A and B are shown apart, each in its own frame.
Chain A
Amino acid sequence: MTEANKLIEGRTGPWEIVLGLEVHAQVASRSKLFSGAAVGFGAGPNEQVSLVDAAMPGMLPVINGYCVEQAVRTGLGIGAQINAWSRFDRKNYFYPDLPQGYQISQFAHPIVGEGVIEVERDDGSTFSVGIERLHLEQDAGKSIHDLDPDWTYVDLNRAGTALMEIVSKPDMRSSEEAAAYVKKLRTILRYLGTCDGDMEKGNLRADVNVSVRRPGAELGTRCEIKNVNSYRFIQQAIEYEARRQIEIIEDGGVIKQETRLFDPGKGETRSMRSKEEAHDYRYFPDPDLLPLELDPAWIKAIEAALPELPDAKRARLQAQYGLSAYDARVLATDIARADFFERAAEGRDAKLVANWTTNGLMSRLAEDGLDIESSPISAADIASLVKLIEDEVISSKIARVVFDHMWAGEGDPAAIVEARGLVQVTDTGAIEVVIDAIIAANPDKAAAVKDRPQALGWFVGQVMRETGGKASPGAVNDLLKAKLGVS
């Protein structure tokens, strides 16, 4: 039952959006699904193309066992049924970036069946998304239309690359839920290492099926929005498409089932006219291949060797390190962050480490659009910084200054503190000398503190100024209180 706050208000009443996603994840393999050509970004045109990829006469497919294994690991990671017997089918249609004139995919019998994923919303609540299936298939090449006014340029480097197509059940009810689902899926894939989840490179992309209905009514006709490759675009596309469909129906029209593209510039979806003919794919079992049979013992061994998955990691971080649910979630969302945290936290105050990792480092990284793998500050550096705080060599306030210097690439925090003379002054004798001098110079203010304790703050400020900020704030406070007779 969809909560009221997820419904959309139309002109004539509330509407429910129903969403299902087909996510294409490129397998992080060295070579392609059915050929020995390399997989990777940035090569020159047609440099990563074998005779098989180019569909020369007489060429035949041979399957990459590693890709099979990654599909199984992914299936296990999304809690799905692994099908020990599956088969490859040909999906037939004509397009220049599809050299064979067919895509080798799995239609009738996919390698992975039904599963379910728990997804966290931003507010910490969770919802379930059912998985329909996962299958292996070939990616197509690239057609470039803007290098010449009269011709299309075709690069087959991507043709034949292994994709895992993960099909969800239509369980999502808002654009936020759809984006959260993709985020969770991406997290799981990166934890397993089966896909790098790089949406900018197109290694992870989503086809979004959108339909609308009155709450409680039958499912409406859906439209498919193809190849959306960012969370923001997924949300925008859904919001636009839902509005578009609601308007049509409220105006008395009927939704035409079709394939659409999202135009990020205009924030709109538009119909893909050329795809309309290609509905009859004439699927049939690929006669160049045999059925894929997996040994149940092999599947069990893979299951036993899976790494700790996101939900388990989140729970463990919270329990083992005493972190807040929020911090544990933020850190567990990405395997690289979780690993960074655990390396930094070894032997250290975990809450401090968590704080410096999330509020300190990650916010700075986010400002610059960097991910933790490109961080100029290492886990060891964070650990060192935290140790300096733990040992009271510096205060938290000074630590922020040290952090800025670390970010600027000045290296190890202890060295920075040393070089810049930032060591916290904890020698009470030295502080007392400074305090006594200030009290002596300001006898009226000193006397007033007894009646107005807030005035202590002025003295703290003066002492910190006199000591260049290096006095230990705790020590300053204690000594001032004692000398001014405040409890």
Chain B
Amino acid sequence: MTELTDLTLKAAVDGLRAKAFSSTELTGAFVGAIEKARALNAYVLEAPQTALAMAAASDARIAAGEGGPLEGVPLGIKDLFCTEGVRTTAGSKILGNFKPTYESTVTANLWRDGAVMLGKLNMDEFAMGSSNESSAFGPVTNPWRSRGSNQALTPGGSSGGSAAAVAARLCLGATATDTGGSIRQPAAFTGTVGIKPTYGRCSRWGIVAFASSLDQAGPIARTVEDAALLLTSMCGHDPKDSTSLNVETPDFASFVGRSVKGLRVGVPREYRADGMPAEIDSLWEQGVAWLKDAGCEVVEVSLPHTKYALPAYYIIAPAEASSNLARYDGMRYGLRAEDARSLVDVYEQTRAEGFGAEVKRRILIGTYVLSAGYYDAYYLKAQKVRRRITDDFVQAFERVDALLTPTAPSAAFGLGENATDPVAMYLNDIFTVTVNLAGLPGLSLPAGLDAAGLPLGLQLIGRPLDEGTLFSLAGALERAAGFEARPTAWWSAEPR
């Protein structure tokens, strides 16, 4: 007998429609699971009353035959999305007890389609991080553990709470955001599926901004089809966002089962980094084999500027962030330093107290690279390198329809392992940042386990607006990989 919380999102949608169970029952099951899983620290805010009220409303709509595509489906929401009347923190102290008086467009789309909100999910502060260790609410623990070890591992970041919650069956799916890999890398670390769509597919209105030209919302879910269903609801043109693309949203799930015979897939040689763990390399080879079996033509391609993507990203993202985070100043909302007197004191103290170390580091870097005398050497240079990186992809996509790469250079690592060296932490994004710089869609799916029993992911990168091809290829890989492993629920066995 399958636990309700073990259902895939698709199975739950079908079950709810068939009235095999109610949303109230389903939501109640997740509420209970969340209560027992506090050791993971995936949720920063549990909203059981809101969830059950929404579930009841969904049940009424289902009974009247009026359900939407996600009717009654309980989801977790990354705390970067502004949710009306519900505290939103961006993983930071600086927003204090901020309760938005508005709903982000992406979450509004999900509620429009009938979904239910279980609560707000933990994340790296202001989405800056690859391990969810910079949250003002404490780190998230990966539900996965190395075989025979109790060591707490990171779920990745910045969407660590989202990935952990999905992996631990604390929601049917979660919203997340990706600026340099923050959907895909945590998905890889937790054995889940995550997709960052083409820049502009999802509206950024109401999502706390980190780096405007790179941020994009997307789902994390347990299967490729689940992710496709969520993405279809999340996407859509929004006139309130000037960078939102005015294009139709395809039915992404319809691509999942399609044959990939004849599709050409590229393997970029520059992604074979020095010192890459052998297991990841062999999983990559395995992925190539699976695609060939499915009828794909696999060729080597070159993306010559790959190694410059990380440094370019670590100029552009902090620069944009230093400006986007200027509004957190204690004047109109959020934290205001108590014992500061003059205006300048309040600014400086509020921001010193309210921001964590990583956020401050990035604001300082960003401020520095934009400052007089350095703009040309850093920011302008990085924007030129960005064009080079994008052109690499344009050329590659003349020969292939998609690219296959590993998602991350390692499996989940221990909490606290990269604490001393920020650059070491930044190197986690090595396979993912190129995709944000070029604005392309990128998907990660679980492809296998490493020797310690930890999940490893493979990444597919597509042409702009061609998520369909990614879903087809991901579907094929998912079938071939047959990834059934799941973390053993140690978190509810242990006392709180």
Interface residues, chain A, with chain B CB atoms under 8 Å away: 51, 54-63, 90, 92, 94, 96, 99-102, 152, 154, 279-280, 282-284, 287-290
In the assembled complex, how far is the CB of residue A241 from the closest CB belonging to chain B, in whole angstroms? 27
Q: SS class of chain B's interface: helix, strand, loop or mixed?
A: loop
Q: In the bound complex, do residue B319 and residue A284 qualify as a contact, i.e. CB atoms below 8 Å apart?
A: yes
Among B115-123, B202-210, B463-471, the stretch that binds chain A is B202-210
The reply on B239 being an interface residue by CB < 8 A is: yes
Q: In the bound complex, do residue B204 and residue A60 qualify as a contact, i.e. CB atoms below 8 Å apart?
A: yes
Subset of 14 A-B contacts with CB under 8 Å: A54-B332, A57-B95, A58-B82, A58-B100, A58-B205, A58-B206, A60-B204, A60-B242, A99-B327, A101-B325, A284-B375, A287-B320, A288-B242, A289-B243
The reply on B226 being an interface residue by CB < 8 A is: no
CA distance A269 to B288 in the complex (A): 74
Residues of chain B lying within 8 A (CB to CB) of residue A90: 323
A/B pair count, beta carbons within 8 Å: 98
Residues of chain B lying within 8 A (CB to CB) of residue A287: 211-213, 243, 320
Residues of chain B lying within 8 A (CB to CB) of residue A55: 327, 332
Residues of chain B lying within 8 A (CB to CB) of residue A152: 343
The B126-158 residues at the A interface (CB cut-off 8 A) are none
Residues of chain B lying within 8 A (CB to CB) of residue A60: 204-205, 240-243
The reply on B331 being an interface residue by CB < 8 A is: yes
Q: In the bound complex, do residue A280 and residue B333 qualify as a contact, i.e. CB atoms below 8 Å apart?
A: no
Across the interface, B209 reaches (CB within 8 A) one of A58, A63, A154, A282, namely A58
Q: Which residue on chain B has the smallest CB distance to residue A102?
A: B323
CA distance A287 to B318 in the complex (A): 13
CA distance A444 to B204 in the complex (A): 103
Residues of chain B lying within 8 A (CB to CB) of residue A62: 239-242
CA distance A279 to B371 in the complex (A): 10
Q: Which residue on chain B has the smallest CB distance to residue A34?
A: B242
What are the 3 A-B residue pairs with the smallest beta carbon separation, nearest first? A101-B326, A282-B370, A287-B212
Across the interface, B331 reaches (CB within 8 A) one of A92, A96, A102, A284, namely A96
Q: In the bound complex, do residue A102 and residue B326 qualify as a contact, i.e. CB atoms below 8 Å apart?
A: yes
Q: Which residue on chain B has the smallest CB distance to residue A62?
A: B242
Residues of chain A lying within 8 A (CB to CB) of residue B90: 57
CA distance A152 to B347 in the complex (A): 14
CA distance A58 to B102 in the complex (A): 10
Across the interface, B82 reaches (CB within 8 A) one of A57, A63, A92, A96, namely A57
Q: In the bound complex, do residue B243 and residue A288 qualify as a contact, i.e. CB atoms below 8 Å apart?
A: yes
Q: Which residue on chain B has the smallest CB distance to residue A277?
A: B344
CA distance A101 to B320 in the complex (A): 12
In the assembled complex, how far is the CB of residue A60 from the closest CB belonging to chain B, in whole angstroms? 5
Residues of chain A lying within 8 A (CB to CB) of residue B327: 55, 57, 99-101
In the assembled complex, how far is the CB of residue B312 from the closest CB belonging to chain A, in whole angstroms? 14
Across the interface, B370 reaches (CB within 8 A) one of A54, A92, A101, namely A92
CA distance A58 to B209 in the complex (A): 6
Q: Which residue on chain B has the smallest CB distance to residue A100?
A: B327
Known pairs A56-B100, A282-B375, A287-B212 / 8 extra A-B pairs, C-beta < 8 Å: A51-B101, A56-B82, A59-B205, A99-B331, A100-B327, A101-B325, A101-B327, A282-B323
CA distance A60 to B324 in the complex (A): 11
